[in-house]
Amino acid sequence: MKKSAVVSFKGQKDIHTTINLTGSKSESNRALIIAALSKGLVKVDNLSDAADTVILNSILNDLKNNPAAEKQTVNVGHAGTAMRFLTAYLSTLPQQFILTGSSRMQERPIAILVDALKTLGADISYAKNEGYPPLNINGGLNSDAAEVSIKGNVSSQYLSALLIIAPTLPKGLSLKIEGGLTSRPYVEMTLNMLASAGIEHSWTGDTIHITPQKHQKATLVVEPDWSAASYWYSIAALADQSTITLTNLREESLQGDSKIQEIMVPLGVRTSRVPNGIDLKSGTTVDVKEVLNLKDCPDLAQTIVVCAAVKGLNLSFTGLETLKIKETNRILALQQELAKIGVLLVEDNEVYTLDCSALSFPEKVTFATYDDHRMAMAFAPLSLLINEVEIEDYQVVEKSYPDFWKDLEKAGFTVQEI
């Protein structure tokens, strides 16, 4: 049963705390598939405790322990990354699978990835609706085809799924990216993690090439999650004063969401390096006249849009088109929830602009989460400005940041389940 919680912050809005973030979900899920393909050569350390990673790890362990089972049903639930990565991974195993997920997962398109895998010789068909999960997968991909083209502006996870299995393919893979590449840092993350496992690649123009090769013995150490860090940037931006230490985050990160450091400067947050991680300090808001392009870091969009809205900043954004096919239609969800505080998010030819002219803060607001963890965490910091913020289905944060509410309480927030 889904439960709600009321979030509040009483007293002076000064926050001084140290937070130990979970491992990166993005790094963890890539590392798990790389390790599974390495035949025991690659180990993973500091795995995320996010639900998506727990689900994927459990599935891979079950597959490892039951390699000779007859046709298996694999259910990823809400785990979108697991759906994409497993579509490719299961195609390489000499078994039969039904790959399925939640009702929302069955509404999220996957045809682009499936078509690419079919070009490489995969035997995949749709169990219900054309272009969507569930999938019937007859594994054992063993084609001589080595070239495939795929659109780069839909989901970088499609590209990463193909790149991760590339070294195990008979002829390797030449992956041509058509059009603009959304979330390039996520593709670079995948290639860097493959390199840490001994897999070499070349990237010339719009084509990435990986030859058939063996993984090398390695341990992939997962960095804390910059996506999770973004909510603390929002808290720092909305607090009167703050010094928030986030431990073990690296200056040179594989994660594109580390861009939050520079994006949040004009919203009033300064980042400084300390021996055990980074410190966030509240500062002064600066006018932003240019359109913010979030194409490389779409998972930050809800955090930044909501934070800018409640600060009354009429900012414009682009690079948000992939938000419409995430856990929910995140654009529509943002529009509906921001309207509750009088803010409009206006779409004009892929540019989204905030209109905060009617911004107001009632005593209490109830925000829906749409089965989307990032909606819950993007709106919770508003409790620094609104006496009571009710978050519906507040446990949805388990998908990526299970300790979010505990960490808020550590920082002085009150979180009361109702």
d(CA 342, CA 360): 6
d(CA 125, CA 59): 21
Query: Residues near 417 by Cβ (< 8 Å), separated by ≥ 6?
Result: 3, 4, 5, 394
User: With DSSP H G I counted as helix, E B as strand and the rest as coil, what are the percentages for the chain, rounded to 5?
Assistant: 35, 25, 40
Q: Are 373 and 398 within 8 A, CB to CB?
A: yes
Active site residue 299: yes
Catalytically annotated residue among 296, 299, 372, 407: 299
Measure Cα distances from 416 to 6, 82, 357, 413 in Å: 5, 32, 32, 10
Query: Residues near 252 by Cβ (< 8 Å), separated by ≥ 6?
Result: none
d(CA 224, CA 198): 23
Paired tokens of 295:
């194409």
User: Which residues, listed in sequence order, are joined to residue 367 by a DSSP beta bridge?
Assistant: 391
Q: Which among 381, 55, 137 has a CA at the least distance from the CA of 236?
A: 381
d(CA 140, CA 68): 13
Helix 156-165 and helix 80-91, axial crossing angle in degrees, nearest 10: 30
User: Which residues, listed in sequence order, are joined to residue 324 by a DSSP beta bridge?
Assistant: none
Beta strand residue intervals within 268-399, DSSP E: 269-274, 277-282, 292-293, 316-318, 344-348, 351-355, 364-367, 388-391
Q: How many Å from the N-terminal Cα to the C-terminal Cα in the chain?
A: 12
Outline where 109-225 has alpha helix (H): 111-119, 156-165, 184-196
Tell me the three state secondary structure of residue 124: strand
Residue bearing tokens 């393919």: 169
Query: Residue 112 is which amino acid?
Result: I
Q: Which among 76, 50, 25 has a CA at the least distance from the CA of 299?
A: 25
DSSP sequence for 234-253: HHHHHSSEEEEEEET--SS-
Paired tokens of 308:
């800018």
Residue bearing tokens 């054309």: 130
Q: Which residues are catalytic?
A: 299
